[in-house]
Amino acid sequence: MKDYALATLERAIKTAAQVFLALVGTNATGITDVNWPGVGSAVALAALVSVVTSLASIKLSPNDGPAAFGPETVE
């Protein structure tokens, strides 16, 4: 279960980083023009959705990872 949790956390961190880079990279001409509360809110929501999606994909077999489709195993 620990490996599953770590894989889920890794996915959430990657999702949050992707959303952060997308919003900051496309939404600002300068670093002071960024709507930081909005970016933070979107990043937090994306990470939460990632975790919920991984939890919804949980399988009760040992070594199953958080992937909804396809073979993924954690050891």
Q: Which domain holds residue 50?
A: 2-56
Asked if residue 37 is part of any domain, the answer here is yes
What pLDDT, on the 0 to 100 scale, is given for residue 37?
Answer: 93
Asked if residue 69 is part of any domain, the answer here is no
Domain count, the chain: 1
Asked if residue 7 is part of any domain, the answer here is yes
State how far the Cα of 63 lies from the Cα of 46, in Å rounded to an integer.
26
DSSP state letters, 24-54: HHHH-SSGGGS-HHHHHHHHHHHHHHHHHHH
Average pLDDT of the chain, as a whole number? 81
Average pLDDT on 42-61 reads 87
Neighbours of 3 (CB within 10 A): 15
Average pLDDT on 54-75 reads 66
What pLDDT, on the 0 to 100 scale, is given for residue 56?
Answer: 83
What pLDDT, on the 0 to 100 scale, is given for residue 58?
Answer: 76
AA identity, residue 65: G
* Full-model pTM: 0.75
CB neighbour class for 66 (10 Å; exposed up to 12, middle 13-18, buried from 19): buried
**Predicted confidence band of residue 45 (pLDDT cuts 50, 70, 90):** very high
